[in-house]
Each structure stands twice: as structure tokens, then as C-alpha cells.
Amino acid sequence: MHAETDLEVRKERMLSEHLLARGIRDAAVLRAMREVPRESFLPPEMARLAYEDSPLPIDAGQTISQPYIVAYMIEALELSGKERVLEIGTGSGYAAAVLSRCAAEVYTVERIPLLADGARNRLQSLGYSNVKVLHADGTLGWREQAPYDAIVVTAGAPEVPAELLEQLGPGGRLVIPVGPSQHLQNLVRVRRLPRGDFRREHLCAVRFVPLIGEQGWDDGPY
């Protein structure tokens, strides 16, 4: 089969078997997952695996999350399309691209310069013009652009960084993997209630690379 057609078939299978069958219902999220070419965010030799439901290695020892988790986390942000969203952990830029189809503006922060530059170029050349990429320690958020209607963290934190709670607007949602180990976390959603106090819910068990920084884990090899 022609490589492109083959990927389209695999993508439809991913949508029905991994997203719909496992409970993803948000129409905007499903549409975005169909629209964004995951193969364009992977090293070329990985492209044929783009629609397997598994995380895959990208540069600098990091990973691109599995499609189901990307869809699940974005659905958990309860977006209507009008929001300003902050993502911590740009990685390949894939989740930022999906987010950009579900929200008005996306701000994404990555600590590894090689990944931040790569994602910025990729997002620009693919035409995702409502995404801005910053190279910085995302445990401190992106203060200049705050407050955000929603924040998603795609690396595992020891605790919810206080700075991110501060940058969440009233009524906002923060979705973040939190756990005592660097490789196994609980996905947590924190809502900032209109009066300003926070309510925390546990969503499911997940496995992410560690969030490294001032309000995250101690520095690793990067």
C-alpha cells in the first residue's frame, strides 16, 4: 500500500480503537487528533509507527506521549476553543499542535534548547501560528503571558508547582502528572474555583519522563 494511504488507515484505526473505544468523546479533540500529522513530529525512521498507541523516543532522551494520553489530557482541560493555554514540556511540539486546534492561543515551554528550537521550527513550518514556544524552566510557568484558562504539564512532577497554580486564572483547570517516583505518577486535575480556592481530583495512573527544574525534580544530565 502507498505509505501515505497506509498512514491514513492507521490513523483512522487509532481514532476508533484507541480514542473512541476508550472513551474520548470531545468532538474538537477527536477532530484535532485526526487533523494533526503525528508522523511530522517524529524522527523520520519512526514515522511509520506514528499511529501506534505508544509513546516514542524523540531527541535528547525524551518521549512523545502516546496518542490516547494526549487526547485524554486535552479532553480533561474542558476547552471550548476560546482559551489561552499553557503547556509545560513542548518536546516534539505534537501536543501543542493538537492543543492549538482546541484553543485560541497556546504558550508552550521546554527546558532543552534543542527540543524547543526543533518544535518552534516544526510548528511554524506546519502552519500552527497560534503556538508560541519558549526555552525556559517551565516549573516557573510563563509569567509574562499569565493568567491562563488552562495549563497542562506533560512531564511528571513531585508536587504541583505553586507558580503554576498562581498563573491559573479563576475557573481555570490544570492537568499534571504528580508522584513520589520520577517514573510513575497520578494524573491530577486542579480547578481554581471562581472565588480563588483550589479543588484537586485524581484522574488515573500515568508514566511520564520527569519534570526537571526549580519547582520540579533536581537537575538530570541536561
Chain contacts with ligand SAH (rule: CB under 6 A)? 62-65, 88-89, 91-92, 94-95, 109-112, 115, 137-139, 154-155, 209, 211-213, 216
Q: Please tell me the number of Cα atoms within 13 Å of 201 on its side-chain side.
A: 10
| Annotated active-site residue in 16, 54, 65, 100 | 65
Question: Please, which residues have CB within 8 angstroms of residue 57's CB and are 6 or more apart in sequence?
Answer: 43, 46, 63
Nearer to ligand SAH, 180 or 196 (CB): 180
Nearer to ligand SAH, 113 or 171 (CB): 113
Min dist CB 3 to ligand SAH, Å, is 22
Q: Least distance in Å: CB of 209 to ligand SAH? A: 5
* Minimum gap (Å) between residue 104 Cβ and ligand SAH: 19
CB nearer to ligand SAH: pick between 179 and 216: 216
**Residue 80 designated active-site:** no
Tell me the catalytic residues: 65
